[in-house]
Amino acid sequence: DQQVKQNSPSLSVQEGRISILNCDYTNSMFDYFLWYKKYPAEGPTFLISISSIKDKNEDGRFTVFLNKSAKHLSLHIVPSQPGDSAVYFCAASAITGGGADGLTFGKGTHLIIQP
């Protein structure tokens, strides 16, 4: 039961170009979305998040777009840099009434920035 789907296992982008990573979700109760970056043998590092009351959030080179009607979000990285090469995870949090909910992760997209 994949509630958060990242359908591209890998993505290769030229340095300096825009990287677009996509994520789809099925659970209508998700209202908070996060992107994490992960290098091998390290923990996920938080990149950027967005609440369902917004449709865009920007932080430097990173912008996340949320389309609630399509249950789709995307992460844009521009310009892409070699250090951006990593696995990117989309994660979501749901309204369940509790105050400490676990995140549901996608399987990740391996972004490769080519020089």
Partner 1 sequence: EPEVTQTPSHQVTQMGQEVILRCVPISNHLYFYWYRQILGQKVEFLVSFYNNEISEKSEIFDDQFSVERPDGSNFTLKIRSTKLEDSAMYFCASRNRGRRQETQYFGPGTRLLVL
Contact flag: residue 62 with partner 1 (CB under 8 A): no
Tokens 């979501």 locate to 92
Answer positive or negative: Cα dihedral of 106, 37, 72, 115. negative
Q: Which helix H or strand E contains 109, and what residues bound it?
A: strand 109-114
Least gap, CB of 90 to partner 1 (angstroms): 10
Q: Which residues pair with 96 in a beta bridge?
A: none
- What DSSP designation does 83 have? G
Residue 108's SS3 state is: coil
Residue 1 makes contact with partner 1 by CB under 8 A: no
Q: Look at residues 2, 26, 7 and name the one whose alpha carbon lies nearest to residue 105.
A: 2
The answer to the question of residue 32 lying near partner 1 (CB under 8 A) is yes
Q: How many residues comprise the chain?
A: 115
What is the footprint of partner 1 within residues 41-60 (CB under 8 A)? 41-46, 49, 51
The distance of closest approach from Cβ of residue 62 to partner 1 in the complex, given in angstroms and rounded to an integer, is 14
Q: According to the binding rule CB under 8 A, does residue 9 interact with partner 1?
A: no
The region of 12-20, 58-66, 67-75, 99-107 touching partner 1 under the rule CB under 8 A is 99-107
Residue numbers at the binding site for partner 1 (CB under 8 A)? 31-32, 34, 36, 41-46, 49, 51, 89, 91, 93, 95-96, 98-108
